[in-house]
Chain A
Amino acid sequence: MAYTDTLQRSSFGQTERQDSWWIQPLAIFLGFSAFIIYSTWAAFQGDNYHFGPYLSPFYSPEIFGDSSHSLFGPKPGWWPLWLPFSPAFLILWVPVGFRLTCYYYRGAYYKAFWGDPPACAVGEPRKKYRGEASFPLIIQNIHRYFLYLALMLIIFLTYDVWNALWFVDPATGQKSFGLGIGTFVLAANVTLLSCYTLGCHSLRHLVGGFMDKFSGSPVRLKTYQCVSCLNKRHMFWAWMSLIVVGFSDIYIRLCAMGIWTDWRIL
Protein backbone atom coordinates (compact mmCIF):
# COMPACT_ATOMS: atom_id res chain seq x y z
CA MET A 1 0.00 0.00 0.00
CA ALA A 2 1.39 3.40 -0.98
CA TYR A 3 1.87 6.04 1.70
CA THR A 4 -0.89 8.29 0.37
CA ASP A 5 -3.49 5.58 -0.38
CA THR A 6 -5.55 6.20 2.74
CA LEU A 7 -5.55 9.99 2.46
CA GLN A 8 -8.88 11.64 1.70
CA ARG A 9 -9.65 14.43 -0.76
CA SER A 10 -12.07 17.17 0.20
CA SER A 11 -14.78 18.27 -2.17
CA PHE A 12 -14.92 21.89 -3.37
CA GLY A 13 -15.41 24.22 -0.40
CA GLN A 14 -15.42 21.37 2.10
CA THR A 15 -13.76 22.28 5.39
CA GLU A 16 -14.14 21.95 9.12
CA ARG A 17 -13.11 25.58 9.54
CA GLN A 18 -15.71 27.50 11.50
CA ASP A 19 -14.44 31.01 10.79
CA SER A 20 -15.55 33.13 7.81
CA TRP A 21 -12.72 31.86 5.58
CA TRP A 22 -14.55 32.92 2.41
CA ILE A 23 -14.46 36.66 3.21
CA GLN A 24 -10.82 37.22 2.21
CA PRO A 25 -10.93 35.46 -1.19
CA LEU A 26 -14.26 37.11 -1.94
CA ALA A 27 -12.92 40.57 -1.05
CA ILE A 28 -9.84 39.95 -3.23
CA PHE A 29 -12.02 38.72 -6.09
CA LEU A 30 -14.23 41.80 -5.92
CA GLY A 31 -11.31 44.21 -5.48
CA PHE A 32 -9.30 42.81 -8.39
CA SER A 33 -12.36 42.50 -10.62
CA ALA A 34 -13.35 46.12 -9.99
CA PHE A 35 -9.84 47.30 -10.84
CA ILE A 36 -9.57 45.14 -13.97
CA ILE A 37 -12.94 46.35 -15.28
CA TYR A 38 -12.21 50.01 -14.57
CA SER A 39 -8.63 50.00 -15.91
CA THR A 40 -9.69 48.20 -19.10
CA TRP A 41 -12.48 50.72 -19.65
CA ALA A 42 -10.13 53.64 -18.92
CA ALA A 43 -7.46 52.30 -21.27
CA PHE A 44 -9.95 51.99 -24.14
CA GLN A 45 -11.21 55.57 -23.71
CA GLY A 46 -8.11 57.21 -25.20
CA ASP A 47 -9.18 60.65 -23.99
CA ASN A 48 -9.59 62.64 -20.76
CA TYR A 49 -6.32 61.14 -19.53
CA HIS A 50 -4.55 64.45 -19.03
CA PHE A 51 -5.49 67.71 -17.39
CA GLY A 52 -3.20 70.72 -17.24
CA PRO A 53 0.21 69.46 -16.13
CA TYR A 54 -1.22 66.12 -14.97
CA LEU A 55 -0.97 62.86 -16.90
CA SER A 56 -2.84 59.74 -15.84
CA PRO A 57 -0.46 56.98 -14.68
CA PHE A 58 -2.38 54.54 -16.91
CA TYR A 59 -1.04 56.52 -19.87
CA SER A 60 2.42 57.39 -18.62
CA PRO A 61 4.81 57.62 -20.33
CA GLU A 62 2.70 58.69 -23.31
CA ILE A 63 4.83 57.32 -26.13
CA PHE A 64 2.44 58.38 -28.92
CA GLY A 65 -0.63 60.52 -28.36
CA ASP A 66 -2.32 63.83 -28.83
CA SER A 67 -1.50 65.53 -25.53
CA SER A 68 1.43 67.81 -24.77
CA HIS A 69 2.92 64.97 -22.69
CA SER A 70 3.51 62.81 -25.75
CA LEU A 71 7.15 61.82 -26.20
CA PHE A 72 7.08 61.11 -29.93
CA GLY A 73 4.05 62.98 -31.22
CA PRO A 74 0.62 61.73 -32.31
CA LYS A 75 -0.51 58.23 -33.20
CA PRO A 76 2.02 56.79 -35.69
CA GLY A 77 1.02 56.28 -39.31
CA TRP A 78 2.10 52.62 -39.22
CA TRP A 79 -0.48 51.76 -36.57
CA PRO A 80 -2.88 49.24 -38.25
CA LEU A 81 -6.25 50.80 -39.09
CA TRP A 82 -8.17 47.78 -37.83
CA LEU A 83 -6.51 47.98 -34.42
CA PRO A 84 -8.05 50.40 -31.91
CA PHE A 85 -5.54 52.89 -30.58
CA SER A 86 -5.08 54.34 -27.15
CA PRO A 87 -1.78 55.58 -25.70
CA ALA A 88 -2.50 53.33 -22.72
CA PHE A 89 -2.16 50.19 -24.89
CA LEU A 90 1.52 50.96 -25.43
CA ILE A 91 2.34 51.10 -21.74
CA LEU A 92 -0.29 49.43 -19.58
CA TRP A 93 0.99 45.92 -20.35
CA VAL A 94 4.06 46.66 -18.25
CA PRO A 95 2.32 47.25 -14.88
CA VAL A 96 -0.25 44.57 -15.74
CA GLY A 97 2.53 42.06 -16.41
CA PHE A 98 4.42 43.13 -13.31
CA ARG A 99 1.40 42.68 -11.06
CA LEU A 100 0.20 39.53 -12.80
CA THR A 101 3.53 37.79 -12.16
CA CYS A 102 4.09 39.34 -8.70
CA TYR A 103 4.54 36.74 -5.98
CA TYR A 104 1.92 38.35 -3.74
CA TYR A 105 -0.69 38.68 -6.47
CA ARG A 106 -0.07 35.16 -7.71
CA GLY A 107 -0.90 33.67 -4.33
CA ALA A 108 -3.91 35.96 -3.99
CA TYR A 109 -5.49 35.34 -7.39
CA TYR A 110 -4.78 31.61 -7.39
CA LYS A 111 -7.00 31.55 -4.32
CA ALA A 112 -9.62 34.12 -5.26
CA PHE A 113 -10.06 33.39 -8.98
CA TRP A 114 -8.93 29.81 -9.36
CA GLY A 115 -9.71 28.22 -5.99
CA ASP A 116 -6.28 26.64 -5.81
CA PRO A 117 -7.12 26.48 -2.85
CA PRO A 118 -10.07 28.83 -2.14
CA ALA A 119 -8.56 29.36 1.35
CA CYS A 120 -6.17 27.48 3.60
CA ALA A 121 -7.47 24.02 4.57
CA VAL A 122 -10.50 24.30 2.26
CA GLY A 123 -11.32 21.78 -0.50
CA GLU A 124 -10.56 22.63 -4.14
CA PRO A 125 -12.68 22.43 -7.27
CA ARG A 126 -10.17 20.42 -9.35
CA LYS A 127 -8.35 17.17 -8.69
CA LYS A 128 -5.57 17.76 -11.22
CA TYR A 129 -2.81 20.16 -10.21
CA ARG A 130 0.41 21.19 -11.93
CA GLY A 131 1.24 24.37 -10.05
CA GLU A 132 4.01 26.50 -11.48
CA ALA A 133 6.12 23.48 -12.37
CA SER A 134 5.07 23.33 -16.01
CA PHE A 135 3.41 25.31 -18.79
CA PRO A 136 1.56 27.66 -18.62
CA LEU A 137 2.33 28.88 -15.09
CA ILE A 138 6.06 28.26 -15.43
CA ILE A 139 5.97 31.55 -17.39
CA GLN A 140 5.52 33.35 -14.05
CA ASN A 141 9.30 33.10 -13.77
CA ILE A 142 9.49 36.04 -16.15
CA HIS A 143 8.64 38.35 -13.23
CA ARG A 144 12.10 39.92 -12.92
CA TYR A 145 11.94 41.17 -16.50
CA PHE A 146 8.71 43.00 -15.73
CA LEU A 147 10.48 44.35 -12.64
CA TYR A 148 13.15 45.96 -14.81
CA LEU A 149 10.45 47.66 -16.88
CA ALA A 150 8.42 48.66 -13.81
CA LEU A 151 11.50 50.34 -12.33
CA MET A 152 11.76 52.42 -15.51
CA LEU A 153 8.11 53.39 -15.17
CA ILE A 154 8.82 54.71 -11.67
CA ILE A 155 11.32 57.13 -13.24
CA PHE A 156 8.70 58.37 -15.71
CA LEU A 157 6.07 58.69 -13.00
CA THR A 158 8.47 60.68 -10.84
CA TYR A 159 9.08 62.97 -13.83
CA ASP A 160 5.28 63.35 -14.10
CA VAL A 161 5.18 64.62 -10.53
CA TRP A 162 7.86 67.17 -11.45
CA ASN A 163 5.75 68.23 -14.43
CA ALA A 164 2.71 68.47 -12.16
CA LEU A 165 4.48 71.28 -10.30
CA TRP A 166 4.52 73.57 -13.33
CA PHE A 167 1.26 75.14 -14.43
CA VAL A 168 0.77 77.07 -17.66
CA ASP A 169 -1.00 80.41 -17.35
CA PRO A 170 -3.64 80.30 -20.12
CA ALA A 171 -3.46 84.08 -20.54
CA THR A 172 0.28 84.47 -20.94
CA GLY A 173 1.39 80.95 -21.79
CA GLN A 174 4.02 81.26 -19.06
CA LYS A 175 4.89 78.30 -16.87
CA SER A 176 4.95 78.92 -13.14
CA PHE A 177 5.48 76.82 -10.07
CA GLY A 178 2.31 75.60 -8.41
CA LEU A 179 0.72 72.95 -6.26
CA GLY A 180 -2.64 71.46 -7.00
CA ILE A 181 -4.51 68.59 -5.37
CA GLY A 182 -3.56 66.61 -8.46
CA THR A 183 0.12 67.19 -7.69
CA PHE A 184 -0.35 65.52 -4.33
CA VAL A 185 -2.37 62.70 -5.88
CA LEU A 186 0.40 61.97 -8.40
CA ALA A 187 3.07 62.28 -5.69
CA ALA A 188 1.18 59.83 -3.46
CA ASN A 189 0.81 57.53 -6.46
CA VAL A 190 4.51 57.39 -7.28
CA THR A 191 5.44 57.02 -3.60
CA LEU A 192 3.15 54.03 -3.13
CA LEU A 193 4.17 52.48 -6.45
CA SER A 194 7.82 52.88 -5.44
CA CYS A 195 7.19 51.19 -2.09
CA TYR A 196 5.48 48.34 -3.92
CA THR A 197 8.08 48.00 -6.70
CA LEU A 198 11.12 48.43 -4.45
CA GLY A 199 9.78 45.76 -2.09
CA CYS A 200 9.51 43.20 -4.90
CA HIS A 201 10.70 39.68 -4.05
CA SER A 202 12.74 39.49 -7.26
CA LEU A 203 14.45 42.79 -6.48
CA ARG A 204 15.20 41.50 -2.99
CA HIS A 205 16.93 38.55 -4.58
CA LEU A 206 18.77 40.58 -7.20
CA VAL A 207 20.17 43.18 -4.79
CA GLY A 208 21.61 40.61 -2.43
CA GLY A 209 19.33 37.67 -1.75
CA PHE A 210 21.31 35.53 -4.18
CA MET A 211 24.36 35.81 -1.93
CA ASP A 212 25.18 33.49 0.97
CA LYS A 213 27.69 35.82 2.55
CA PHE A 214 27.00 39.49 3.25
CA SER A 215 30.07 40.33 5.33
CA GLY A 216 32.47 42.38 3.25
CA SER A 217 29.61 43.88 1.22
CA PRO A 218 28.11 46.54 3.55
CA VAL A 219 26.36 48.50 0.78
CA ARG A 220 24.76 45.38 -0.62
CA LEU A 221 23.71 44.29 2.87
CA LYS A 222 22.10 47.67 3.56
CA THR A 223 20.31 47.60 0.21
CA TYR A 224 19.09 44.07 0.89
CA GLN A 225 17.84 45.13 4.31
CA CYS A 226 16.00 48.16 2.85
CA VAL A 227 14.28 46.06 0.19
CA SER A 228 13.48 43.40 2.81
CA CYS A 229 11.94 46.07 5.01
CA LEU A 230 9.54 47.09 2.24
CA ASN A 231 9.02 43.46 1.28
CA LYS A 232 7.65 42.65 4.74
CA ARG A 233 4.56 44.72 3.88
CA HIS A 234 4.45 43.85 0.20
CA MET A 235 0.75 42.98 0.34
CA PHE A 236 -0.06 46.35 1.93
CA TRP A 237 1.91 48.27 -0.71
CA ALA A 238 0.40 46.14 -3.48
CA TRP A 239 -3.13 47.08 -2.45
CA MET A 240 -2.46 50.70 -1.57
CA SER A 241 -0.64 51.36 -4.83
CA LEU A 242 -3.40 49.61 -6.79
CA ILE A 243 -6.09 51.75 -5.17
CA VAL A 244 -4.20 55.02 -5.54
CA VAL A 245 -3.13 54.41 -9.14
CA GLY A 246 -6.79 53.83 -9.99
CA PHE A 247 -7.81 56.91 -8.06
CA SER A 248 -5.17 59.01 -9.85
CA ASP A 249 -6.73 58.13 -13.19
CA ILE A 250 -10.24 58.83 -11.86
CA TYR A 251 -9.11 62.20 -10.45
CA ILE A 252 -7.50 63.37 -13.68
CA ARG A 253 -10.35 61.98 -15.80
CA LEU A 254 -13.01 63.76 -13.76
CA CYS A 255 -11.01 67.02 -13.78
CA ALA A 256 -10.58 66.73 -17.56
CA MET A 257 -14.30 66.12 -17.96
CA GLY A 258 -15.05 69.21 -15.88
CA ILE A 259 -16.83 67.24 -13.16
CA TRP A 260 -14.22 67.85 -10.47
CA THR A 261 -12.26 71.03 -9.88
CA ASP A 262 -8.54 70.76 -9.25
CA TRP A 263 -8.04 73.07 -6.29
CA ARG A 264 -4.76 74.99 -6.38
CA ILE A 265 -2.89 75.48 -3.13
CA LEU A 266 -0.16 77.59 -4.70
Chain B
Amino acid sequence: MASVTFKVWRGNKEGGEFKEYSTDITEGMVVLDALFQIQADAANDLAIRWNCKAGKCGSCSAEVNGYPRLLCMTRMSSLPQDRPVKIEPMKSFPVIKDLVCDVSWNYEAKKRIKKFKPRKPDAADGTWRMQQEDVDRVQEFRKCIECFLCQDVCHVLREHHLHENFIGPSLLVYTAALEMHPLDVEDRTEDLRKHQGIGYCNITKCCTNVCPENITITDNAIIPLKERLVDKFYDPLKKILNLFSGKS
Protein backbone atom coordinates (compact mmCIF):
# COMPACT_ATOMS: atom_id res chain seq x y z
CA MET B 1 0.00 0.00 0.00
CA ALA B 2 1.46 3.35 -1.02
CA SER B 3 0.38 6.87 -0.20
CA VAL B 4 -0.09 9.04 -3.28
CA THR B 5 -0.54 12.80 -3.36
CA PHE B 6 -3.30 14.30 -5.49
CA LYS B 7 -3.78 17.88 -6.55
CA VAL B 8 -7.49 18.26 -7.09
CA TRP B 9 -9.02 21.40 -8.57
CA ARG B 10 -11.58 22.83 -6.17
CA GLY B 11 -13.81 25.72 -7.07
CA ASN B 12 -16.75 26.90 -9.16
CA LYS B 13 -17.42 29.07 -12.21
CA GLU B 14 -16.02 32.12 -10.43
CA GLY B 15 -12.64 30.45 -9.97
CA GLY B 16 -10.74 27.98 -7.86
CA GLU B 17 -7.42 26.40 -7.08
CA PHE B 18 -5.64 23.07 -6.74
CA LYS B 19 -5.79 21.55 -3.24
CA GLU B 20 -3.50 18.78 -2.13
CA TYR B 21 -4.74 15.50 -0.66
CA SER B 22 -2.99 12.23 0.10
CA THR B 23 -4.57 8.81 0.10
CA ASP B 24 -3.47 5.18 0.15
CA ILE B 25 -3.50 3.31 -3.13
CA THR B 26 -3.94 -0.44 -3.44
CA GLU B 27 -3.58 -2.71 -6.44
CA GLY B 28 -6.26 -2.39 -9.08
CA MET B 29 -7.51 1.04 -8.01
CA VAL B 30 -8.61 3.59 -10.57
CA VAL B 31 -8.45 7.37 -10.13
CA LEU B 32 -12.16 7.49 -9.27
CA ASP B 33 -11.57 5.04 -6.37
CA ALA B 34 -8.85 7.31 -5.03
CA LEU B 35 -11.14 10.34 -5.29
CA PHE B 36 -13.88 8.44 -3.42
CA GLN B 37 -11.38 7.81 -0.62
CA ILE B 38 -10.42 11.50 -0.56
CA GLN B 39 -14.10 12.40 -0.54
CA ALA B 40 -14.73 10.06 2.39
CA ASP B 41 -11.67 10.98 4.44
CA ALA B 42 -10.70 14.56 3.71
CA ALA B 43 -13.11 16.41 1.44
CA ASN B 44 -16.73 15.44 1.98
CA ASP B 45 -17.92 18.28 -0.23
CA LEU B 46 -15.80 17.30 -3.27
CA ALA B 47 -18.11 17.25 -6.29
CA ILE B 48 -17.61 14.43 -8.80
CA ARG B 49 -20.07 13.32 -11.46
CA TRP B 50 -20.11 9.54 -11.85
CA ASN B 51 -22.51 6.73 -12.41
CA CYS B 52 -21.56 3.32 -13.84
CA LYS B 53 -17.88 3.05 -12.85
CA ALA B 54 -17.45 0.82 -15.90
CA GLY B 55 -16.56 3.26 -18.69
CA LYS B 56 -20.01 3.11 -20.25
CA CYS B 57 -22.00 6.06 -18.89
CA GLY B 58 -19.51 8.78 -19.82
CA SER B 59 -20.16 10.75 -16.62
CA CYS B 60 -16.76 10.91 -14.90
CA SER B 61 -14.89 12.77 -17.64
CA ALA B 62 -12.11 14.99 -16.31
CA GLU B 63 -8.45 15.73 -16.88
CA VAL B 64 -5.80 13.57 -15.26
CA ASN B 65 -2.33 15.07 -15.45
CA GLY B 66 -3.57 17.44 -18.14
CA TYR B 67 -5.05 14.78 -20.41
CA PRO B 68 -8.78 14.17 -20.87
CA ARG B 69 -9.74 10.78 -19.43
CA LEU B 70 -12.55 8.87 -17.78
CA LEU B 71 -11.72 8.80 -14.04
CA CYS B 72 -13.18 5.29 -13.74
CA MET B 73 -11.03 3.84 -16.52
CA THR B 74 -7.70 5.38 -15.55
CA ARG B 75 -5.75 2.92 -13.45
CA MET B 76 -3.53 4.38 -10.77
CA SER B 77 -0.79 1.99 -11.90
CA SER B 78 -0.72 3.78 -15.28
CA LEU B 79 0.25 7.10 -13.65
CA PRO B 80 3.61 8.20 -12.26
CA GLN B 81 3.17 8.25 -8.48
CA ASP B 82 6.43 9.90 -7.50
CA ARG B 83 4.81 13.30 -7.99
CA PRO B 84 1.30 14.60 -7.33
CA VAL B 85 -1.45 13.39 -9.67
CA LYS B 86 -3.31 16.44 -10.98
CA ILE B 87 -7.07 16.16 -11.40
CA GLU B 88 -9.10 18.99 -12.90
CA PRO B 89 -12.42 19.47 -14.68
CA MET B 90 -12.80 19.53 -18.46
CA LYS B 91 -11.73 22.84 -19.97
CA SER B 92 -14.16 23.17 -22.86
CA PHE B 93 -17.17 23.53 -20.58
CA PRO B 94 -18.01 25.89 -17.69
CA VAL B 95 -17.41 24.45 -14.23
CA ILE B 96 -20.37 24.00 -11.91
CA LYS B 97 -18.38 22.80 -8.91
CA ASP B 98 -14.99 21.10 -8.51
CA LEU B 99 -14.80 18.35 -11.15
CA VAL B 100 -18.36 18.75 -12.40
CA CYS B 101 -18.96 20.70 -15.63
CA ASP B 102 -22.04 22.06 -17.30
CA VAL B 103 -22.16 20.03 -20.51
CA SER B 104 -25.68 21.15 -21.46
CA TRP B 105 -24.37 22.95 -24.55
CA ASN B 106 -23.78 19.55 -26.19
CA TYR B 107 -27.44 18.61 -25.84
CA GLU B 108 -28.61 21.97 -27.11
CA ALA B 109 -26.28 21.78 -30.15
CA LYS B 110 -27.45 18.22 -30.82
CA LYS B 111 -31.05 19.39 -31.09
CA ARG B 112 -30.07 21.56 -34.06
CA ILE B 113 -28.87 18.57 -36.11
CA LYS B 114 -31.46 17.41 -38.60
CA LYS B 115 -33.22 14.32 -37.32
CA PHE B 116 -33.22 10.84 -38.82
CA LYS B 117 -35.48 10.79 -41.88
CA PRO B 118 -36.00 7.28 -43.25
CA ARG B 119 -36.89 6.53 -46.83
CA LYS B 120 -40.28 5.04 -47.61
CA PRO B 121 -40.74 1.55 -46.06
CA ASP B 122 -39.46 -1.34 -48.16
CA ALA B 123 -42.34 -3.63 -47.33
CA ALA B 124 -46.09 -3.24 -47.28
CA ASP B 125 -46.16 -3.77 -43.52
CA GLY B 126 -44.19 -0.55 -43.04
CA THR B 127 -40.81 -2.15 -42.32
CA TRP B 128 -37.38 -1.76 -43.90
CA ARG B 129 -34.68 -4.18 -45.00
CA MET B 130 -30.99 -3.59 -44.35
CA GLN B 131 -27.89 -5.69 -44.87
CA GLN B 132 -25.08 -5.94 -42.33
CA GLU B 133 -22.54 -4.42 -44.74
CA ASP B 134 -24.75 -1.35 -45.00
CA VAL B 135 -24.66 -0.65 -41.25
CA ASP B 136 -21.09 -1.74 -40.45
CA ARG B 137 -19.81 1.81 -40.69
CA VAL B 138 -22.45 3.49 -38.55
CA GLN B 139 -22.29 0.82 -35.85
CA GLU B 140 -18.88 2.16 -34.86
CA PHE B 141 -20.42 5.56 -34.20
CA ARG B 142 -23.14 4.06 -32.06
CA LYS B 143 -20.47 3.13 -29.50
CA CYS B 144 -20.28 6.79 -28.47
CA ILE B 145 -21.03 7.13 -24.73
CA GLU B 146 -21.23 10.94 -24.85
CA CYS B 147 -18.43 11.42 -22.36
CA PHE B 148 -17.45 14.58 -24.31
CA LEU B 149 -13.74 13.96 -23.83
CA CYS B 150 -13.34 14.57 -27.57
CA GLN B 151 -15.13 17.91 -27.20
CA ASP B 152 -12.84 18.71 -24.29
CA VAL B 153 -9.60 18.04 -26.14
CA CYS B 154 -10.72 19.68 -29.40
CA HIS B 155 -8.73 22.92 -29.56
CA VAL B 156 -11.49 24.70 -31.50
CA LEU B 157 -13.69 24.49 -28.40
CA ARG B 158 -11.00 24.25 -25.73
CA GLU B 159 -8.77 27.13 -26.77
CA HIS B 160 -10.89 29.18 -29.17
CA HIS B 161 -14.30 28.71 -27.55
CA LEU B 162 -16.04 28.61 -30.92
CA HIS B 163 -19.07 26.83 -29.48
CA GLU B 164 -21.37 29.07 -31.50
CA ASN B 165 -19.72 28.12 -34.79
CA PHE B 166 -18.58 24.52 -34.38
CA ILE B 167 -20.42 21.51 -32.98
CA GLY B 168 -17.28 19.52 -32.13
CA PRO B 169 -16.17 15.95 -32.84
CA SER B 170 -18.75 14.21 -30.67
CA LEU B 171 -21.65 15.75 -32.57
CA LEU B 172 -19.90 15.22 -35.90
CA VAL B 173 -19.83 11.52 -35.03
CA TYR B 174 -23.56 11.73 -34.31
CA THR B 175 -24.12 13.50 -37.63
CA ALA B 176 -22.01 10.91 -39.47
CA ALA B 177 -24.11 8.12 -37.95
CA LEU B 178 -27.22 9.74 -39.40
CA GLU B 179 -25.71 10.89 -42.68
CA MET B 180 -24.25 7.46 -43.53
CA HIS B 181 -27.27 5.50 -42.36
CA PRO B 182 -28.58 3.35 -45.24
CA LEU B 183 -32.20 4.32 -44.56
CA ASP B 184 -31.68 8.02 -44.01
CA VAL B 185 -32.49 10.38 -46.87
CA GLU B 186 -31.89 13.72 -45.16
CA ASP B 187 -29.08 15.97 -46.46
CA ARG B 188 -27.06 17.62 -43.69
CA THR B 189 -24.11 18.86 -45.77
CA GLU B 190 -25.34 22.45 -46.04
CA ASP B 191 -25.80 22.64 -42.26
CA LEU B 192 -22.40 21.04 -41.67
CA ARG B 193 -20.78 23.75 -43.73
CA LYS B 194 -22.79 26.79 -42.69
CA HIS B 195 -23.99 26.23 -39.14
CA GLN B 196 -22.02 23.35 -37.68
CA GLY B 197 -18.63 24.53 -38.86
CA ILE B 198 -16.98 21.29 -39.97
CA GLY B 199 -14.39 23.45 -41.75
CA TYR B 200 -13.02 24.49 -38.36
CA CYS B 201 -11.76 20.97 -37.78
CA ASN B 202 -8.11 20.84 -38.78
CA ILE B 203 -7.87 17.06 -38.35
CA THR B 204 -5.25 16.94 -35.62
CA LYS B 205 -6.83 13.69 -34.41
CA CYS B 206 -6.77 14.64 -30.73
CA CYS B 207 -10.42 13.57 -30.52
CA THR B 208 -9.55 10.10 -31.81
CA ASN B 209 -6.67 9.84 -29.34
CA VAL B 210 -8.82 10.45 -26.27
CA CYS B 211 -11.93 8.46 -27.21
CA PRO B 212 -12.43 5.76 -24.53
CA GLU B 213 -14.52 3.74 -26.98
CA ASN B 214 -11.74 3.83 -29.57
CA ILE B 215 -13.98 5.35 -32.22
CA THR B 216 -11.80 6.46 -35.12
CA ILE B 217 -13.51 9.84 -35.04
CA THR B 218 -11.32 11.75 -37.48
CA ASP B 219 -10.75 9.12 -40.16
CA ASN B 220 -14.13 7.42 -40.12
CA ALA B 221 -16.54 10.23 -39.25
CA ILE B 222 -15.12 13.73 -39.79
CA ILE B 223 -13.02 13.22 -42.94
CA PRO B 224 -15.79 11.27 -44.75
CA LEU B 225 -18.17 14.14 -43.89
CA LYS B 226 -15.62 16.67 -45.16
CA GLU B 227 -15.38 14.65 -48.39
CA ARG B 228 -19.14 14.75 -48.78
CA LEU B 229 -18.94 18.51 -48.51
CA VAL B 230 -16.25 18.56 -51.19
CA ASP B 231 -18.62 16.56 -53.42
CA LYS B 232 -21.33 19.11 -52.96
CA PHE B 233 -19.51 22.44 -52.74
CA TYR B 234 -15.87 22.27 -53.78
CA ASP B 235 -15.59 19.87 -56.72
CA PRO B 236 -16.44 21.59 -60.03
CA LEU B 237 -15.58 18.47 -62.04
CA LYS B 238 -18.06 16.41 -60.05
CA LYS B 239 -20.68 19.10 -60.57
CA ILE B 240 -20.18 18.95 -64.34
CA LEU B 241 -20.33 15.15 -64.33
CA ASN B 242 -23.50 15.24 -62.25
CA LEU B 243 -24.96 17.74 -64.67
CA PHE B 244 -24.41 15.36 -67.59
CA SER B 245 -25.60 12.31 -65.68
CA GLY B 246 -28.70 14.18 -64.55
CA LYS B 247 -27.96 13.85 -60.82
CA SER B 248 -28.36 17.55 -60.09
| Candidates B68, B161, B226, B237; contact of A4 at CB < 8 Å | B161
Binary interface encoding of chain B residues 69-109 relative to chain A, with 1 for a CB under 8 A from any of its CBs, else 0:
00000000000100100101001111100000010010000
Chain A residues, CB < 8 A from B134: 212-215
Binary interface encoding of chain B residues 138-171 relative to chain A, with 1 for a CB under 8 A from any of its CBs, else 0:
0000000000000001011011111101000000
Whether A174 is near chain B, meaning CB under 8 Å from some CB there, is: no
Whether A95 is near chain B, meaning CB under 8 Å from some CB there, is: no
Q: Assuming A18-B80, A129-B200, A133-B199, is B227 touching A201 (CB within 8 A)?
A: yes
Whether A106 is near chain B, meaning CB under 8 Å from some CB there, is: yes
How near does chain B come to A213, taking the closest CB pair, in angstroms?
4
Contact B163 A4 (CB under 8 A): yes
Query: Whose C-beta in chain A lies nearest to the C-beta of B197?
Result: A133
Query: Whose C-beta in chain B lies nearest to the C-beta of A124?
Result: B159
Size of the B side of the interface (Cβ < 8 Å), in residues, is: 62
Residues of A contacting B: mostly: loop
Chain B residues, CB < 8 A from A132: 199-202
Contact A205 B68 (CB under 8 A): no
Contact A120 B159 (CB under 8 A): no
Chain B residues, CB < 8 A from A124: 155, 159
Query: Whose C-beta in chain A lies nearest to the C-beta of B12?
Result: A6
Contact B204 A129 (CB under 8 A): no
How near does chain A come to B190, taking the closest CB pair, in angstroms?
14
| Candidates B63, B105, B205, B209; contact of A16 at CB < 8 Å | B63
Query: Whose C-beta in chain A lies nearest to the C-beta of B184?
Result: A212
Chain B residues, CB < 8 A from A19: 65, 67
CA distance in complex: A111, B92 (Å): 19
CA distance in complex: A103, B92 (Å): 25
CA distance in complex: A130, B223 (Å): 18
Q: Assuming A116-B202, A141-B230, A210-B227, is B92 touching A131 (CB within 8 A)?
A: no
Q: Which residues of chain A from 1 to 46 have any CB-CB distance to chain B below 8 Å in the complex? A: 3-10, 15-19
CA distance in complex: A175, B113 (Å): 66
Contact A107 B204 (CB under 8 A): yes
CA distance in complex: A234, B63 (Å): 29
How near does chain A come to B15, taking the closest CB pair, in angstroms?
9
How near does chain A come to B19, taking the closest CB pair, in angstroms?
15
Chain B residues, CB < 8 A from A16: 63, 65-66, 86, 88
How near does chain B come to A103, taking the closest CB pair, in angstroms?
5
Contact B227 A202 (CB under 8 A): yes
Whether B191 is near chain A, meaning CB under 8 Å from some CB there, is: no
Query: Whose C-beta in chain A lies nearest to the C-beta of B198?
Result: A133
Contact A131 B204 (CB under 8 A): no
Binary interface encoding of chain A residues 93-118 relative to chain B, with 1 for a CB under 8 A from any of its CBs, else 0:
00000000001001100110000110
Whether B133 is near chain A, meaning CB under 8 Å from some CB there, is: yes
| Candidates A4, A116, A204; contact of B155 at CB < 8 Å | A116
Contact B209 A120 (CB under 8 A): yes
What are 17 contact pairs spanning A and B, CB under 8 A?
A: A3-B94, A4-B161, A7-B161, A9-B159, A17-B66, A18-B66, A103-B219, A116-B204, A121-B66, A129-B155, A133-B197, A141-B226, A209-B227, A212-B179, A214-B134, A215-B130, A215-B131
Ranked 7 nearest A-B pairs via Cβ: A16-B66, A133-B199, A120-B206, A215-B131, A205-B227, A17-B66, A131-B200
A interface residue numbers (CB < 8 A to B): 3-10, 15-19, 103, 106-107, 110-111, 116-117, 120-121, 123-124, 127, 129-134, 137-138, 141-145, 201-202, 204-205, 209-210, 212-215, 221, 231-232, 234
